[in-house]
Amino acid sequence: PAAVIVAIDGPSGTGKSSTSKAVAAQLGLSYLDTGAQYRAITWWMVNNGIDLSDASAIAAVAGKADIVSGTDPSGPTITVDGTDVAGPIRTTEVTSQVSAVSAVPEVRARITELQRSIAASAEKGIVVEGRDIGTTVLPDADLKIFLTASPEARAARRSGELKGSDVKATQEALVARDKADSSRKTSPLAKAGDAVEVDTTDLTLQQVIECVVTLVEEKR
């Protein structure tokens, strides 16, 4: 079959990463975590002492970090200037600042270009997860999914992933990040008009995976 391009968008804690990886693995497709790329550029900025309250300072260095994503769904990788940053990009320090960096148009232009070139070179097709994949990055994707879940369910899932974190604080941080991501001017978090919305609140991960696999198979 021809290369199939699947866009999976939605707010944090809806199961985007787990679903996207499993669907890609099951169907033999590549996988791209675009949130990891925004986290990686944020990590570089923090590491280089860039003032993240200054959008023009961020814009001025938007092209400096060399970000490379490995797209095997069974072991996706991310490096910045050759350094493995898979761990450091998940710290609270990066998570709490990534929305400020990802709102800067020069950053988005740069990362979007990278995403399009990765998708174009995926010979068997790719599952790309993020916030603006269906609306902006890959508007011609064969299938667009928009995952949602209640804030309570999302916070509970995130707290489960981050050992020792408290659910209330996690929920507040999640809601704040989604608000920033949804209200920015340049390609905000949004459901594409032609996306299929899947509310995962009362579904198991396995059910969500099966639902998306079925939708992809219908497109092939």
Q: Which residues bind ligand C5P (CB under 6 A)?
A: 12, 34-35, 38-39, 98-99, 102, 130-133, 177, 181
Please state, in angstroms and rounded to a whole number, the distance separating the CA atoms of residues 199 and 15. 10
Q: For residues 19 and 99, which CB has a smaller minimum distance to ligand C5P in the complex?
A: 99
- Least distance to ligand C5P from the beta carbon of 120, Å? 17
Q: For residues 131 and 157, which CB has a smaller minimum distance to ligand C5P in the complex?
A: 131
Q: For residues 205 and 217, which CB has a smaller minimum distance to ligand C5P in the complex?
A: 205
- Least distance to ligand C5P from the beta carbon of 216, Å? 20
- Which DSSP helix (H) or strand (E) runs through 206? helix 205-219
CB 71 within 8 A of CB 30: yes
17 labelled ligand-binding: yes
Please state, in angstroms and rounded to a whole number, the distance separating the CA atoms of residues 217 and 137. 22
* Helix (H/G/I), strand (E/B), else coil: 1: coil
CB 71 within 8 A of CB 41: no
* Helix (H/G/I), strand (E/B), else coil: 124: coil
- Least distance to ligand C5P from the beta carbon of 38, Å? 3
- Least distance to ligand C5P from the beta carbon of 1, Å? 26
- Spatial neighbors of 206 by CB under 8 A, at least 6 apart, are none
12 labelled ligand-binding: yes
CB 142 within 8 A of CB 47: no
CA dihedral (111, 8, 172, 166) in degrees, to 10, reads -110
Q: For residues 34 and 200, which CB has a smaller minimum distance to ligand C5P in the complex?
A: 34
- Least distance to ligand C5P from the beta carbon of 60, Å? 19
Q: For residues 102 and 170, which CB has a smaller minimum distance to ligand C5P in the complex?
A: 102
18 labelled ligand-binding: yes
The annotation places the binding site at 10-18
The annotation places the binding site for ATP at 10-18
